[in-house]
Chains A and B, each alone.
Chain A
Amino acid sequence: MSPARTLATARRVLLQLRHDPRTVALMLVVPCVLETLLRLIFAHRRAAFDQAGGPLLAFFPLTTVFLVTSIALLRERVTGTLERLLTTPLGRLELLGGYALSFGLLAATQAILVSALTLGPLGLHIRGPVPVLVLLAVCVALLGTGLGLLASGFARSEFQVVQFFPVIVLPQLLLCGLLVARQRMPVALHAVSDFLPLSYAVDGMHHLSLQGGAGVALWGDIAIVLAFAAGALLLGAATLRRRTE
């Protein structure tokens, strides 16, 4: 592993984003707008807002980072830059490290901005420490990088790769406990939700909402999200073949 090549890759990905300010603005502004919308929908039901607003903070980085990673890596595959990079000393894990680093940073920025708005002016109550909330968002972003990378390995075009969004992300949203608490779901669905990483991210948010400190259960949830992220990244790395047809 060469930290220099990993850092150069992270820098390159961030530079690409810098030349695309509209995408960055959308990534940062849209979650803020959605949290505001949620607050307005629940204008007279503060408890409902507290319950849904928190888990959404964990959901945004998954959406954002999944979409940008899957499309960015698909482009690398289609335009031949990936093929060229794999003829240089750059290792696959260094490449992935660069992506994870840059999108992790982006997710942290997003989480700081959105939670500042949501916990401040919108008045969401959480009892846990805010830095842990940002950490959880970054872990979810790493998961998004891994899942996006995997999706890009099974798509041939940008049309195909965005179709993986409803396949990979939306079922997790339905089953994560945001709509119906997981304990109150039918047994089979509860069991399925146990295998979905977003469930643990949302569980973690619930712990953050309800508990003052950062307890064992919260760290456990974060560890599970990280384990899923690592698994997805490693599976995704296997789709980065040097030799192709």
Chain B
Amino acid sequence: MLGVGQVTAVQIDGLTVERGGRVVLSDIEASFSAGQVTGLFGPSGSGKSTLIRSIAGVQAGVHGTIKVLGEEPGSADVRRALGYMTQAPSVYDDLTVLENVRYFAAMRGGEVGSVLERVQLVPWAHQLVRNLSGGQRARVSLAAALVGNPRVLLLDEPTVGLDPLLRRDLWRLFRELVSEGVALLVSSHVLDEGRRCDELILLREGRILAQLSPEELSRRTGTDDLDEAFIRLIERA
């Protein structure tokens, strides 16, 4: 599945996650590469966030193996190389945008100004986060994940609730990042966005339906409508 010159950044084998005695992810095999946007798609409750948290090394009850750049999730080397954006904006409400990003920059090193430009928050740099809109907060949270040029980026629903123009700009940014060699995993429950990815991981009820490119998905299911393609995959499974 890997093209020439692509380097596997994250490799997941036989991953099962239990939470409160319930199996939420079951026997996951997946991988994603540097230089590609990999989309993690599935309805809400399918286990997307749990999978991302497992890769970030913050999920308990994990069985199986995950390697991030060949290392254990949560190890010191991985923590230097990984940017993680949680689903709910996890930044400090009572700090300004600039103060937030500066603090996360102090954790990993890296330049603050260019990151604010990339997420288009320069005009709001001195605003308290609590006074911002939901979409702006989400971008502060994204900036905190981007700062320090992480080689592996895990973004949990970064485009939810954004206006279409901003969403387009963000996808352009994602393209820019992967052209710089970042391995980018983006989750979303809006299948339409799948078109903008190089590779899709389709998740349902804690299991992987398929990992393939959008073109292959269309070819295999005989439709260009990704929603319809997803349904056909489920019916076939």
> Contact residues of A with B, CB < 8 Å?
4-5, 8-9, 11-12, 15-16, 19-20, 79-81, 83-90, 241-245
Determine the distance from Cα of A81 to Cα of B91 in the docked complex, in whole angstroms.
Answer: 6
Contact A88 B90 (CB under 8 A): no
Closest 4 CB pairs of A and B: A80-B90, A8-B106, A88-B107, A243-B60
Closest Cβ of chain A to B182, distance in Å, is 16
Chain B 75-108 per-residue mask, 1 if CB under 8 angstroms from chain A, else 0? 0100110101010101111111001000110111
CB within 8 Å: A-B pair count: 77
Write the chain A residue with the least CB distance to B62.
Answer: A243
Contact A19 B106 (CB under 8 A): no
Contact partner of B74 (CB less than 8 A), chosen from A11, A81, A242, is A242
Set of chain A residues within 8 Å of B86, measured between Cβ atoms: 80, 83-84
Write the chain A residue with the least CB distance to B147.
Answer: A88
Write the chain B residue with the least CB distance to A85.
Answer: B107
Contact partner of B58 (CB less than 8 A), chosen from A5, A19, A86, is A86
Q: Is the interface of B mostly helix, strand, loop or mixed?
A: mixed
Write the chain B residue with the least CB distance to A243.
Answer: B60
Contact A79 B76 (CB under 8 A): no
Are A79 and B107 CB-contacts (below 8 A) given A12-B95, A89-B79, A243-B74? no
Set of chain B residues within 8 Å of A83, measured between Cβ atoms: 53, 58, 86, 90
Q: How many of chain B's residues have a CB under 8 angstroms from any CB in A?
A: 34
Contact B95 A87 (CB under 8 A): no
Determine the distance from Cα of A245 to Cα of B86 in the docked complex, in whole angstroms.
Answer: 15
Write the chain B residue with the least CB distance to A79.
Answer: B90
Set of chain A residues within 8 Å of B5, measured between Cβ atoms: none
Knowing that A11-B103, A84-B84 are A-B contacts, what are 5 other residue pairs whose CB atoms are under 8 Å apart, sorted by A's residue number?
A4-B106, A5-B106, A8-B107, A79-B88, A80-B86
Set of chain B residues within 8 Å of A90, measured between Cβ atoms: 107
Contact B59 A5 (CB under 8 A): no
Contact A243 B82 (CB under 8 A): no
Interface centre among A20, A83, A88, A90 (most CB of B within 10 A): A88
Set of chain A residues within 8 Å of B90, measured between Cβ atoms: 79-81, 83-84
Determine the distance from Cα of A243 to Cα of B59 in the docked complex, in whole angstroms.
Answer: 5
Write the chain A residue with the least CB distance to B84.
Answer: A87
Chain B 131-170 per-residue mask, 1 if CB under 8 angstroms from chain A, else 0? 0000000000000110000000000000000000000000
Contact A12 B103 (CB under 8 A): yes
Set of chain B residues within 8 Å of A81, measured between Cβ atoms: 90-92
Set of chain A residues within 8 Å of B84, measured between Cβ atoms: 84, 87
Determine the distance from Cα of A15 to Cα of B209 in the docked complex, in whole angstroms.
Answer: 47
Closest Cβ of chain B to A207, distance in Å, is 40
